[in-house]
Amino acid sequence: MESLQTPLMLVTLLCYVSAFGLLIYVFYSPREKVRKIARGINLLGFGLTTLLLGIRTVLIAGLPLTNTYEFGLCFAWAISLIFIIIDYRHNLTAAGLFVLPLIIGLMAWLITLDNSVRPLMPALRSPWLVIHVLTAVIAYGAFALSFVLAIMYLLKEKQNSMGTESKWARALPSLDLLDDLSYKLVFVGLPFLTIMLVTGAVWAEYSWGSYWSWDPKETWALITWFIYSVYLHVRFMVGWKGKKAAYLSILGFGAVMFTFIGVTYLLPGLHSYV
């Protein structure tokens, strides 16, 4: 079963690439039937990602949350799931043009990683593992979609400000909807990120004898938390919306990706579980 992982990952990647290609076609030449096919292929990609996680669960006899490969797979799964929910609730298929490249890039990177099954490190043998990492997956998935919607907002707003909205900009949802959904995703994601930090501190005390050690991943997770906390604070207290909020969402997701990937390779520490 372990040998099935890479071929299945390639098929999953092909599904996401195909869905993205069809959405590009729909964007320039609207065809409802093609849009439905793109949706279906994207759902197939999500289903295959779920199957990959299921296989990994069987192989390691536990939830696949113990290293960079497994977390990345869960991250891609969460992004795909949240996009599917938003698409069906708000008919935001156009967002797939921005979401799918994110998933495709993530999956392509995961293929290059070692996916062999290894014994679980002693520090990870804890009941805190599931809640700590799972809340991170949910938070990161929500922030990824907030980032995508912020990018879409800025692109559409720029076109509107020029007074010559292009065909592709008209195909994007309204600015109010993009801004509102981006905010709501941050509002959902921040509590999960808070739980991640709190459970991580408790787990660190249990494993290493200290609630906080200023490990690079801990530090950047805290920086990420501060950015999104500022986002909500200035939105509620100062009334920041639109462009200012979009820039903060983009900054926050930059911190998310650096925490996830950048720290792993550039600032290794206690959390280096590649």
pLDDT in tens, the chain (274 residues): 777 888 899 999 999 999 999 998 887 777 788 888 999 999 999 999 999 999 999 988 878 888 889 999 999 999 999 999 999 898 888 889 999 999 999 999 999 988 887 766 655 666 777 888 899 999 999 999 999 999 999 988 887 777 666 666 677 788 899 999 999 999 999 999 999 999 888 877 776 666 667 788 888 999 999 999 999 999 988 888 889 999 999 999 999 999 888 887 776 655 554 4
Q: Rounded to whole angstroms, how far apart are CA atoms 230 and 3?
A: 45
Q: Enumerate the domain spans of the chain.
A: 1-116, 123-274
3-state helix, strand, coil in the chain (%, to 5): 80, 0, 20
Contacts of 162 (CB under 8 A, 6+ apart): none
Euclidean distance between CA atoms 234 and 180, whole angstroms: 15
d(CA 250, CA 147): 5
Task: Look up tokens 């991943």; give the residue.
Answer: 217
Distance CA 115, CA 112 (A): 9
d(CA 131, CA 192): 10
Return d(Cα 189, Cα 186) in angstroms, integer.
5
* Helix H or strand E encompassing 203: helix 175-208
Q: Regarding the domain delimited by 1-116, which CATH topology (the fold level of the hierarchy) does it fall under?
A: Four Helix Bundle (Hemerythrin (Met), subunit A) (1.20.120)
Burial class (CB in 10 A: 0-12, 13-18, 19+), 14: middle
